[in-house]
């Protein structure tokens, strides 16, 4: 399993019975990320037995309260549990001021360092680029400047074919094989062709998180063919006027984005509290994009590489 997404909160601005504000826990190759941090996020992590000690990167899509008001309690819990390692926090400009001011008036200092990474939600920015993956922003359309996040695994190493492995291969030679290189002796003579000892790399997976947004066809090209798409679906089509007013999406609009982008699977969330039953939204989305699921609390979506 290379990618695992657990939904901590699925509600819109107003919480509903059994629903929490938006928050998600994402694991990619044992790297743990928190995406948005609505009220009660740390309680959901505890309930679902997801350790916040492993989270080193937190992404906040925008500064409406239902997407970040669970952050300060989580930061203090990390402090009380004697966290010592740096925490990287990605958000639009302003969250750093809020946290600094809160700590100032609480006369508190954290045991660990928060490394703030402010970004411009209006343009695509690369936030992380390491040996495992890249993370970039997805500009969205909302009342407040807002961005989603696109996680893409990089090309994985070739796999050693255990059925054809040769005794006596050195660790350095095995490492070279994983990069796709052939093996030569000290005189430059070919010893082993890479293809004869290895298997192709496992597929690289991708996840696009599209937080609060009106219908946004501009992002289709950026998220083209992603393996998993989360798209807000605050309203049903019958409430289109409300969606337009608040710059949110309907379930059918989310599904149209998924269809145009040819994604493999979509999950929808950020549901308005006016809907007691979510079947209406799910059925509406599936009428356009069949491979749709509800992003409800406690649900985990896994992608195998």
From CA 108, how far away is CA 103, in angstroms rounded?
5
Q: What is the pLDDT of residues 77-97, one digit of tens each?
A: 999 999 999 999 999 999 999
Write the DSSP string, 207-255: EEEE-S-S--GGGTTTTTT-SEEEEE--B-GGGHHHHHHHT--BHHHHH
CATH code assigned at 23: 3.60.15.10
- Domain end residue (candidates: 199, 219, 254): 199
* Amino acid 298: pLDDT: 97
**Is residue 226 within 8 Å of 206, Cβ to Cβ?**
yes
Q: What is the pLDDT of residues 267-303, one digit of tens each?
A: 999 999 999 999 999 999 999 999 999 999 999 999 9
Kindly state whether residues 286 and 241 are assigned to the same domain.
yes
Kindly state whether residues 76 and 173 are assigned to the same domain.
no
36, 56, 66, 283: the active-site residue: 66
Q: Does residue 283 have an active-site annotation?
A: no
117 token code pair: 């990474």
Q: Report the share of the chain in percent with pLDDT over 70.
A: 95
Kindly state whether residues 188 and 265 are assigned to the same domain.
no
Kindly state whether residues 193 and 215 are assigned to the same domain.
no
The mean per-residue pLDDT over the stretch 97-114 comes to: 94
**Pairwise pLDDT comparison (164 vs 286), residue with the higher score:** 286
Kindly state whether residues 163 and 211 are assigned to the same domain.
no
Of 203, 205, 211, the C-alpha closest to 267 is 211
- Domain end residue (candidates: 199, 230, 254): 199
Element (H, E) at 151: strand 147-153
Domain extent for 143: 3-156+202-303
* Amino acid 164: pLDDT: 64
* Amino acid 169: pLDDT: 72
Kindly state whether residues 298 and 270 are assigned to the same domain.
yes
- pTM, full prediction: 0.91
Kindly state whether residues 52 and 193 are assigned to the same domain.
no
Kindly state whether residues 193 and 214 are assigned to the same domain.
no
Q: What is the pLDDT of residues 188-237, one digit of tens each?
A: 777 677 676 677 788 999 999 999 999 999 999 999 999 999 999 999 99
Our count of domains for the chain comes to 2
Kindly state whether residues 175 and 283 are assigned to the same domain.
no
Kindly state whether residues 45 and 104 are assigned to the same domain.
yes
From CA 253, how far away is CA 266, in angstroms rounded?
12
Per DSSP bridges, beta strands 265-269 and 228-232 are: parallel
Count Cα atoms within 13 angstroms, Cβ side, for 213: 26
- Domain end residue (candidates: 199, 231, 250): 199
* Amino acid 157: pLDDT: 78
Q: Average model confidence (pLDDT) for the chain?
A: 93
Kindly state whether residues 167 and 195 are assigned to the same domain.
yes
Kindly state whether residues 71 and 31 are assigned to the same domain.
yes
């Amino acid at each position: 399993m290379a990618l695992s997404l657990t939904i901590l909160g699925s509600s819109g601005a107003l919480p509903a019975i059994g629903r929490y504000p938006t928050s998600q826990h994402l694991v990619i190759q044992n790297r743990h990320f928190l995406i948005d941090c609505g009220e009660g996020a740390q309680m959901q992590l505890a309930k679902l037995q997801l350790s916040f000690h492993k989270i080193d990167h937190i992404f906040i899509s925008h500064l409406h309260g239902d997407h970040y008001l669970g952050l300060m309690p989580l930061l203090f819990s990390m402090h009380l549990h004697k966290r010592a390692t740096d925490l990287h926090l990605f958000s639009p400009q302003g969250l750093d001021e809020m946290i600094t001011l809160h700590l100032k008036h609480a006369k508190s200092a954290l045991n660990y360092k928060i490394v703030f990474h402010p970004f411009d939600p209006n343009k695509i920015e690369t936030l992380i680029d390491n040996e495992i993956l890249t993370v970039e922003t997805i500009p969205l359309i909302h009342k407040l400047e807002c961005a989603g996040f696109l996680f893409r695994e990089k090309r994985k190493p070739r796999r050693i074919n255990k059925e054809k492995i040769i005794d006596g291969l050195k660790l350095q030679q095995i490492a070279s094989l994983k990069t796709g290189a052939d093996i030569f002796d000290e005189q430059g003579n070919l010893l082993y062709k890479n293809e004869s000892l290895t298997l192709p790399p496992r597929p690289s997976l991708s996840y696009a998180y599209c937080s609060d947004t009106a219908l946004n066809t501009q992002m289709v090209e950026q998220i083209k063919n992603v393996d998993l798409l989360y798209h807000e679906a605050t309203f049903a089509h019958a409430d289109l006027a409300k969606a337009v007013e608040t710059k949110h999406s309907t379930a059918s609009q989310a599904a149209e984005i998924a269809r145009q982008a040819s994604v493999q699977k979509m999950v929808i969330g950020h549901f308005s509290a006016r809907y007691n039953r979510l079947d209406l939204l799910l059925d509406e989305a599936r009428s356009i994009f069949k491979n749709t699921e509800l992003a409800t609390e406690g649900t985990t979506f896994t992608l195998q590489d």
